[in-house]
Chain A
Amino acid sequence: GAVVSQHPSRVICKSGTSVKIECRSLDFQATTMFWYRQFPKQSLMLMATSNEGSKATYEQGVEKDKFLINHASLTLSTLTVTSAHPEDSSFYICSARPGQGLFEQYFGPGTRLTVT
């Protein structure tokens, strides 16, 4: 149980285009979902927290107009990287928490974004 999927696993896009990444909790309802990114040999960096039906809460320094997060249902959250630039190339990972008194957080397999 507690499986989180992400799609796509890998994407290459041209500078200036937008990319959407989907995160789904497959066997539980996720009241809260989180988006992280990780650069090579660095720690996970939390970008934002989203609750179903609410606006996402972004961490300091993360541009909310650039990284659009939508948590439309209890099993789906999306991250859209708008007007991507090469410096946005990174490993983007979502995670989901069942809530209802459960604090465990399960990570998706990640999406490797390369902006050329």
Chain B
Amino acid sequence: EDKVVQSPLSLVVHEGDTVTLNCSYEVTNFRSLLWYKQEKKAPTFLFMLTSSGIEKKSGRLSSILDKKELFSILNITATQTGDSAVYLCAVDQYGGSQGNLIFGKGTKLSVKP
């Protein structure tokens, strides 16, 4: 059975800390891995990763994929209270339900001032 596992499920840090969120997967016909940030409402897209070892960066956020070991990490440096959210990892498959994503359960990040 295809699955995506995120860890930890929740995390509390203080402003200025650096955090690493983990996502491992066991999925047939892997196509890409995506990270989303979900605050109160819609999940918003952060990164799409298709190749191993190529870091994607956006400001204080970065992510990398390891297709041999079947995992990805999302790093957030110098965290701010605005980073508090649920971070979702999802995997896209070739030949899956016409572009459906398989989601992990998410990591809830709380950043305290």
Q: Are A and B associated in one complex? A: no
